[in-house]
Structure 1
Amino acid sequence: MRTYPLPRPWARPANLRTPAVGAVLLVLLLLLGQGRPLPLAEPQQKLSLRQVLAHLEPYRREAVVREFLALKASAEILTGRPGARAVGRLLRLELYNQSYGRPSAFDDPEAALAASRRWLEALGSLKRGSPPDTRDLPLALQHVLPHREAIRRAAQGLHFPSGVLAAIVDNEQYGGDKALGLSRGIRSLADGLAESLSESTGSAGLLARTLGLAQMSWEDALKQQPRLARFAAWPYPTFPQTELEARQALEDPAANLLLTASRLRGYFNAALGLPRDHTRYLAGHWLYYLGPAWHNWPTGAQQQATWPYAFHGFFKGLFYQALFATR
């Protein structure tokens, strides 16, 4: 089975700093687009789990199936039947992607199931009112919890679950903490230099196009005014009109979250086949996959890839939704 190299899971194409690297990534994404995208019909759902795992030895395949069913049962206790269906859908996608050489979070089924169990254990602790053990989970609680009220307001203002937005913030901040903080330090330096350039020249060019708590591009920020007006969700007297104003808004956590939530709501409406001006509240556990996946790698979300950002983002959404409900 032919496979293709993947971009680093925690780095979005929008974060690239040079045209040369951008060109390389464009070629890479074109190659990925010629791979095995999953159409909306989701052919992996037509296969039984044992068919998806046909390449495994029988004893190992049966052990994986048993653990898969046990995890779904646990998820149903914790999140109800709709949540269990979403957990099962994610795991089926991950196992399918592993089997067919597509982007996946893990190299083998057992690792994916073990990670899922750890997430459900942490979720179970929250549901029981006990402090969850998160030591081995890819979480950036120290960066998310100080902004939980702003996250709630932004998500509620755009009418979707706050866990989705919290998962995106966590993914971005967890990625920034990697390499002993080197990534975060370089990003902060680039953001400061970009703002200085935009003040002096009117534009920072290709430098630091995304910034702030949820790492949103200033170009996308400037496009959010009509949607935020429809939702009556922008509390400030004026809306950014220039690159510099957009950068300054994105450096403010509350404004950054509102702009990110607006962009995300636009994607949800499109992905779910809703009118552009649809404003009713959206619900459903699969939003916890769609939101973080699309925010990080739109092509991967369209192809229903399960790279680490998307896989863990789903469980982070469940986790933060429950955590915010207890505080």
Structure 2
Amino acid sequence: MAVQRVDPTRLRRGRLVSVAVVAVAVAFSPTVAPLIDRLLHPPQTAPLTLPLLSTPPSTSAEVQAYARQVQTFQSALDELQVGERRRVTLSEQHFQVFLQAWPLLGDARTQALLTLLTAEIRNQNQARGRRSVFSSPEAALNNAEDWLRFLSWATVPSHAPNRVPRAGLRGAAELEAAAPVPMAVRTVLGHAQDIRAAASAAHLAPGMLAAIVDNEQSGQGKLYGLAGVLRTLTDTVALRTSESLGESGLSGNLSQTVGLAQMSWQDALLQKSRFHELGLNLGQPFPENEAEARRALSNARAGLLLTASRMVGYLDEQEGKSARPHISAQTYFTGPGWHNNPALLSSGQTWPYAWNGFFKACLYGVLLAD
């Protein structure tokens, strides 16, 4: 398909207009001003104190399951040259995390959690030159326990005889207030139907896709994920500029990613062949240029389908097409990791986006009933 050449003079004029629009909007917009004020003066709320999570007695089946992780964990401690007394304490806490996670997450997700913990602790070895989330094994284990306490409070009835995790125990605002990190539960649950539909069509775990949306949307005003207080504004400016001039120009540099899951319009255009392969239906003609891709990504249903298609491509590369459907517990970490930074994930590194994404996926796996 021939690409129409854009007049350079018109393009330069469009770029200047884009800059002017952004500057004026930031200075005077009644929509942007409250966002900036909220960023500079975040509301102060007292943190909720969640009940401590009890450690149930171990069974022979649990001990056998835990034994699969002992050697790799101890090897990670060897790399850090942990002393004997500290090793005993860490080993006890590691086993405690396992016992707390097992009834809450089930075997597969518990094993995935322990694998993630081992990777994180290995990455704390400075000789490896890798990123890690925490500076010590204690901090990693403590944070895992904080997440497990939150997940139990959020999904397990406290007085029910059968303490099986289920949805509907807490309101979205409650969950956001009690979460260990900023979360966008209201946004995710507001798009639950679209998330389930996209995950089902692409044969992915809904909780994993929901975790990606949460990571991106909870970044509003927090510089977390790819979000920011001016995102909606810059997305709109870039879309309008690309529609009128054929490309977004400078405004596009401020809006590289679009939509609930913050996917780039360039990646969206690359999904056409995989859409055909997976039998996905966008519900509209597949985008052929920047403006159409931005418009599609701005639509919740279409944007999530494009994001899910891209995720299948990444997981095919990592696990192989033979592993489809990609719904294993391991994807609760690798999915958000691939979405955010494939280079970090493929080199075995751990970082907050992917670490928190794992636990968020565990939560949404219950709330969206994976």
TM-score where L is the length of structure 2: 0.70
RMSD: 2.4
Shift of 1:313: 0.7
- The CA distance in 2 between the partners of 1:89 and 1:319, in whole Å, is 18
Match of 1:270 in 2: 317
In structure 2, the residue corresponding to 1:316 is in which secondary structure?
helix
Q: CA deviation at 1:235?
A: 4.3
2:107 equivalent to 1:60: no
SS at match of 2:368: helix
Distance 1:58 1:176 in 2: 44
Aligned to 2:98: 72
Q: Are the aligned partners of 2:282 and 2:302 in contact in 1 as well (CA < 8 Å)?
A: no
Cα distance in structure 2, aligned partners of 1:237 and 1:247? 13
Higher mean C-alpha deviation, range 114-123 or range 311-320: 114-123
1:90 to partner: Cα distance: 0.3
Structure-2 separation of matches of 1:109 and 1:140: 28
Residue deviations 1:270-309, cap 9 Å, x none?
Answer: 111226xx8x422211001111011111110101211100
C-alpha contact (below 8 Å) 2:188/2:213 kept by paired residues: yes
2:189 to 129, 138, 145: 145
Counterparts of 1:273 and 1:117, CA distance in 2 = 33
Of 237, 255, 263, 1:193 maps to: 237
For 1:49 and 1:245, locate their aligned partners in 2 and report how far apart those are by CA, in whole Å: 48
Q: Call closer, same or farther: CA 1:233–1:179 in 2, change over 3 Å.
A: closer
Query: What amino acid is the match of 2:350?
Result: T
How far apart in 2 are the matches of 1:143 and 1:45? Answer: 38
Match among 337, 359, 363 for residue 293 of structure 1: 337
SS in 2 for 1:238: coil
Q: Using the alignment, how far apart are the partners of 1:255 and 1:196 within structure 2?
A: 19
What does residue 31 of structure 2 align with? none
Higher RCO (CA-CA < 8 Å; seq separation 6+): 1
Query: In the TM superposition, what is the alpha-carbon distance from 1:266 to its structure 2 partner?
Result: 0.8
Q: Is the 8 A contact 2:208 2:335 kept in 1?
A: yes
Contact 1:52 1:95 in 2 (8 A): no
Which residue type is aligned with residue 310 of structure 2?
A: R
User: What amino acid is the match of 1:50?
Assistant: L
Pairing partner for 2:292 from 223, 245, 251: 245
Residue 166 of structure 1 aligns to a residue in which SS? helix
| Count of paired positions | 278
1:82 aligned residue:
108
Query: Could you give the per-residue CA deviations for residues 150-207 of structure 1, whole angstroms, max 9, x where no partner exists?
Result: 1010011100100111111111111223169xx6332222212211220121011352
Query: Which of 275, 297, 310 is residue 354 of structure 2 equivalent to?
Result: 310
Which digits, 9 at most, give the CA deviation of each residue in 1:195-239, with x for residues without a partner?
122012101135212111100011111111222222222141411
Pairing 1:319–2:347 present:
no
Instruction: Specify which of 225, 229, 238 is matched with residue 272 of structure 2.
Output: 225
Q: Extract unaligned runs of 5+ from structure 1.
A: 1-43
After superposition, the Cα gap between the structure-2 partners of 1:179 and 1:246, relative to the gap in structure 1 and judged at 3 Å, is: closer
List per-residue Cα deviations over 1:222-277 (Å, max 9, x = no partner). 111222222222141411111111110111111110100000011111111226xx
For 2:142, the equivalent position in structure 1 comes to 114
Supply the AA of the counterpart residue of 2:107.
Answer: R
Between the aligned partners of 1:209 and 1:124, the Cα distance in structure 2 is 37
Say yes or no: does 1:164 pair with 2:208: yes
Compare CA radii of gyration and give the structure with the larger one.
Answer: 2
Distance 1:66 1:96 in 2: 18
Partner of 2:75: 48
Could you tell me how far apart the structure 2 residues matched to 1:194 and 1:320 are?
32
- Structure 2: unaligned runs, 5 residues or longer: 1-70, 158-165
Q: Is the 8 A contact 2:150 2:180 kept in 1?
A: no
Partner of 1:82: helix, strand, or coil? Answer: helix
Cα distance in 2, alignment partners of residues 177 and 322 from structure 1? 27
- Alpha-carbon deviations, 1:91-129, whole Å to 9, x = none? 001111112352111122222112111211222231435
SS of the aligned residue for 1:269 comes to: helix
The answer as to whether partners of 2:332 and 2:361 remain within 8 angstroms in 1 is yes
- Which residue does the alignment assign to 1:96? 122
Contact 2:207/2:363 (<8 A) preserved: yes
Q: Deviation of residue 47 (structure 1)?
A: 5.8
Residue pair 1:49, 1:65 contacting (<8 A) in 2 also: no
The structural deviation recorded for 1:136 is: 4.1
CA deviation map 1:29-83 (0-9, x unaligned): xxxxxxxxxxxxxxx94962431442x3433332222111111122222222222
